[in-house]
Amino acid sequence: MPTEERSAEVPISESDLVEIIKRRVREGNFLGTDEVGVGDDAAVVRFDSQRLVLTADAMVEGVHFLSDSMSWHDIGWKCIVSNQSDIAAMGATPEHAVLTLAIPATTQIGDLEDLMAGVVGALDQFGGMLVGGDTVVSEVTMLSATLTGRLCDSARALTRNSARPGQSIAVTGPIGGSSGGLAVLNEMVASKGIREKSEDQSRLLEAHFRPTPRVDIAPELVGAGVECAMDISDGLLIDLERICVASGVDAIVNANRVPCEPSLMNVFPDQARRFALTGGEDYEILYVCDADAVTQVNAKQPGVGNDDFGVIGEIVDAKSDGGEITVLDECGQVVEFGAKGWDHFAR
């Protein structure tokens, strides 16, 4: 239901928050036709003769991580990677970063060194340079990074509002690993880390703590003519829903075609599909395009032999305003999920 039609007393959702912000800033009144404002993975604004891609993301203790179960290095790494992933999803490469760091006064020098090693390590590996920021004392640890990027094709960005009926829905790689890693972590906490980890469990933990942003695939998506994309940060289904709402279309997803992280299938065979469909923080790219563009993208990916690898469904005409996602199992039966992914304000 559109935000303006809801009672002011109804608990807010993340989608409501974004819609309220979009309405208040009245982006259509000042953005040019080649610019992108609130509601996408990143903003694209004109700066002199160039277009600047701009995004921000935060990590808050108790919301995104628990400091007693995640290393300081990994905290810094994930904060930067989440921003790099947003830049890649716009069809751009990272350039410059500023970091706001709020930490308790009791933080040890060694922990801060580890955190900054994670920040700089992610920038060195996937692109971008730390050029400034701010520091403040806080009762809880919080990092907020702002990252700029440069479009791979200066004439266009990848956006959420450009999906069309008849196009294929695809992902750039296996998903669900990070969600599986979180499940392994929760099991370890419950057992106080007594049980020895298997190789597959270790891989899932690595996927959760050290995700890889698909900065490498951004030029290939743009080169293949893809116009619609976003990164999978909150969960495949909820992120696809956002594309469909922005584009005014619906979607059909074939659950058995969603590529799952192999270790996920080994450790959680009964839950793997659910983790892949509704788990977040995989940072693969979800994209929508014609079938031949998928073939071009896959041809550029090492180790991908199938022309239609990652094709998980199809965009269809909207029944109403758009945003309805139908998930089918291998028999063509509709599968229902209690939640499509992560919403910060969901109860």
Q: Mean pLDDT in the chain?
A: 87
Same domain, 297 and 269: yes
The pLDDT of residue 61 is 85
Least confident of 19-28, 98-107, 264-273, 308-317: 19-28
Instruction: Give the CATH number, domain containing residue 88.
Output: 3.30.1330.10
Residue 9 counted as domain residue: no
Inform me whether the pLDDT recorded for 344 exceeds 50: no
Same domain, 94 and 216: no
Residue 326 counted as domain residue: yes
Same domain, 235 and 323: yes
Residue 19 counted as domain residue: no
Same domain, 206 and 111: no
Same domain, 134 and 173: no
Question: 151 has which bridge partners?
Answer: 92
Same domain, 328 and 195: yes
Inform me whether the pLDDT recorded for 242 exceeds 50: yes
Residue 269 counted as domain residue: yes
User: How far apart (Å, rounded) are the C-alpha atoms in residues 52 and 42?
Assistant: 10
Tens digits of per-residue pLDDT, 7-37? 555 565 556 555 655 565 565 556 666 667 6
Residue 163 counted as domain residue: no
Inform me whether the pLDDT recorded for 124 exceeds 60: yes
Least confident of 29-33, 209-213, 236-240, 307-311: 29-33
Q: How many C-beta atoms surround the C-beta of residue 24 within 10 A? A: 9
Which of the listed residues 151, 180, 207 is the one where a domain comes to its end? 151
Residue 117: pLDDT band with limits 50, 70, 90: very high
Inform me whether the pLDDT recorded for 262 exceeds 70: yes
Q: How many C-beta atoms surround the C-beta of residue 113 within 10 A? A: 11
Same domain, 185 and 311: yes
Query: Where do we find the tokens 């900065």?
Result: 215
Same domain, 123 and 209: no
The pLDDT of residue 337 is 80
Select the highest-mean-pLDDT range: 43-47, 50-54, 211-215.
211-215
Residue 92 counted as domain residue: yes
* Contact (Cβ atoms closer than 8 angstroms) between residue 149 and residue 278: no
Same domain, 101 and 58: yes
- Find the distance separating the first CA and the last CA of the chain, reported in whole Å: 18
Total of domains in the chain: 2
Inform me whether the pLDDT recorded for 126 exceeds 50: yes
Look up the domain containing 328 and give its range.
168-335
Residue 316 counted as domain residue: yes
The pLDDT of residue 42 is 74
* Contact (Cβ atoms closer than 8 angstroms) between residue 278 and residue 327: no
Residue 2: pLDDT band with limits 50, 70, 90: very low
Residues 6+ positions from 326 with CB-CB distance below 8 Å: 250, 251, 252, 253, 334
Which of the listed residues 100, 123, 151 is the one where a domain comes to its end? 151
List b or e across 145-180, with b for residues whose CB sees 16 or more CB atoms inside 10 angstroms. Answer: bbbbbbbbeeebbbbbbbbeeebbbbbbbbbbbbbb
Tens digits of per-residue pLDDT, 306-340? 889 999 999 999 998 889 999 999 999 999 887 66
Instruction: Give the CATH number, domain containing residue 326.
Output: 3.90.650.10
Which of the listed residues 119, 151, 183 is the one where a domain comes to its end? 151
The pLDDT of residue 48 is 64
The pLDDT of residue 306 is 84
The pLDDT of residue 44 is 79
Same domain, 178 and 258: yes
Same domain, 225 and 329: yes
User: How far apart (Å, rounded) are the C-alpha atoms in residues 314 and 254?
Assistant: 9
Same domain, 254 and 307: yes
Residue 54 counted as domain residue: yes
